Amino acid sequence: MAIQCNELSFSFEKLTVFSSFSMHFPDRHVTAVLGPSGCGKTTLLNLISGLLQPQDGEILGREGERISYLFQEPRLLPWMTVRRNIEIVLEPFYERPERRERALHFLELVGLQGFEEYFPQQLSGGMRQRSAIARAFAYPSHIMLMDEPFQALDLHRKLTLIEQFENLWSLDQRTALFVTHDIQEAMLLGDTIVVLYGPPAIAQKNLENPLPRAERSLKARPLLELEQELYASLVTDIGRKNEGANG
Amino acid sequence: MWWLAALFIDAPIILPAPHKVAAELLRLIASVDFWLSVGTTFYRGITGFFISLIIGVSVGVAAGISLPLHALFKPIILVIRTTPVMSVVLIALLWFKTGTVPIFSTFLIAFPVITQNIIVGIRQTDPGLLEMGRAYGLSSRRRLLYISIPSVVPYLVSGAETALGLTWKVVVAAEVLSIPSFGVGSEMQLAQMSLETAQVFAWTVIAILLSSFSQWIFSICVQRMPWSRQYGDTV
């Protein structure tokens, strides 16, 4: 199911984050939303997830849909093993043996077999975020929201995690909204890349990824060209902001 | 050292020698009245403690969740916490029968400690985890069970431990002032009035043992609870 935002308006106190903002997120597509910090990316995710309510406008396509949410931090419960952490979000949908089986299956898919009974504090940051990815995919949802989930990791871990995400994605596509300020992440993961600036947020560019998922790599020529273009638009955005501040 | 000091002072009314206190202790243990006194004091302390626990947790949860209730309870708790123990006991004496005074005083001193800890525990619950729970559609019952309660448990345990320590001090102090028919504090006061210093010391040892015993039972109970399991060491 595609998600459609129509004429959204939302402000915090005096700060207008969205004013008549519209955007379309195609079904079973990863839409990467690229933009600097503070442009309203996280607010957009919170509006779509329902954690925040828009003051005006509507969001179509999420009625009765379950949503998986990948946060910047793993947000695992420290008093439960990683297996239990996944099982609790499955409770309304599966019986106990199925829950267990499903949790173990997804932990294995992210390469955490043997660590199922560990508590989050016993794992490294990368392993914790992998557990969170396993939870997001194990949760039977049609929509996946991702808020810079690879941000806290070093480049090597980040690329490993993106690869693992791709593996899971190839088995199970959902309507995904991936928010980031990292051009390379956006190019590797996004089928569509939207450049956002603000506040108030405005979608400045809407580009199709020139390469299919399997062929994407940071060295591929079409992506290098895309990187230039995205870089230029982010830099102009900064220029525009500074001008605004000076004027 | 105690023995040397006793030798040096050489006045059993001021500082009795350890063996005199031990002898007194043995003599006391042999009597039925001793066990009645200890039992009654223990009963009063535990009753006061459990009433504090139940009311402290209830008020703490209510005030932790609701801002208006917090505004209502905060000044009350502050006043009670700063009131001297002796004032509480003396006022209780005007209101209750002598046997009830220690229970009531314990309750009034111990419950704000527990309430305060619960409030802090609820406030300290990681908002990110609660948000995760809502994003994944966990019902409010599950969020309470899996996120809020486990966050509060360490605060509850430390609050209850402090409250239990206070319990015995307050119970004995209240008994000293109210002199109910049985009780460690009553016996202590009677011994003091008849200048039986060795006996006062003996009862003090009993009070310390009573307190240590209850702390020991408490720590065993805490270890047995499923949620107090260690989460494992950080790598």
Q: In order of start, what are the domains of chain A with their CATH numbers?
A: 3-246 (3.40.50.300)
Q: Minimal Cα–Cα distance from A66 to chain B, Å?
A: 8
Best A89, A143, A144 residue to mutate vs chain B (most B CBs within 10 Å): A89
In chain A, whose CA is at the least distance from the CA of B227?
A79
- Whether residue B1 is contained in a domain is answered as no
Distance CA A218, CA A226 (A): 11
Q: Which residue has the tokens 């230039």?
A: A228
**Which residues on adjacent β-strands are paired with residue A197?**
A202
Asked if residue B82 is part of any domain, the answer here is yes
B52 occurs within a structural domain: yes
Closest to A162 in 3D by CA, of A186, A193, A138 = A186
Which residues from chain B sit within 8 angstroms of residue A75, using beta carbons? 128-129, 131-132
B203-223, pLDDT tens digit by residue? 888 889 889 999 999 888 888
Note whether residue B225 is domain-resident. no
Q: What is the pLDDT of residue A243?
A: 56
Residue A73 Cα, gap to closest chain B Cα (Å) = 9
**Mean per-residue pLDDT, A83-93:** 92
In a domain, B126, yes or no: yes
**B28-62: pLDDT as tens digits:** 878 888 888 888 989 999 999 999 999 999 999 88
Compare B51 and A164 and report the one with higher pLDDT.
Answer: B51
**Residue A115: pLDDT band with limits 50, 70, 90:** very high
Summarize pLDDT for B121-164 with one digit per residue, the tens: 988 889 999 999 998 989 888 888 899 888 888 899 999 999 99
Interface of A with B (CB under 8 A): 49, 51, 66-69, 71, 73, 75, 77-80, 88-89, 91-92, 118-124, 139, 145
Is the minimum CB–CB distance between B95 and chain A shorter than 8 Å?
no
Helix or strand (DSSP H, E) at B20: helix B18-29
Task: Report how far residue A225's alpha carbon sits from residue A158's, in angstroms, rounded to the nearest whole number.
Answer: 22
Residue B53 lies in a domain: yes
Supply the ipTM of this predicted assembly. Answer: 0.82
pLDDT of residue A247: 38
Residue B96 belongs to some domain of the structure = yes
Structural domain count of chain B: 1
Element (H, E) at B9: helix B2-9
Question: Is residue A246's pLDDT more than 60?
Answer: no
Domain with B158 in it:
15-220
Mean pLDDT of B4-33: 77
Nearest to A123 among B132, B142, B235 (CB): B235
H or E element: which one contains A156? helix A155-171
A75, A78, A121 ranked by CB distance to B132: nearest: A75
The CATH number assigned to the domain holding B29 equals 1.10.3720.10
Q: Do the domain assignments include residue B232?
A: no
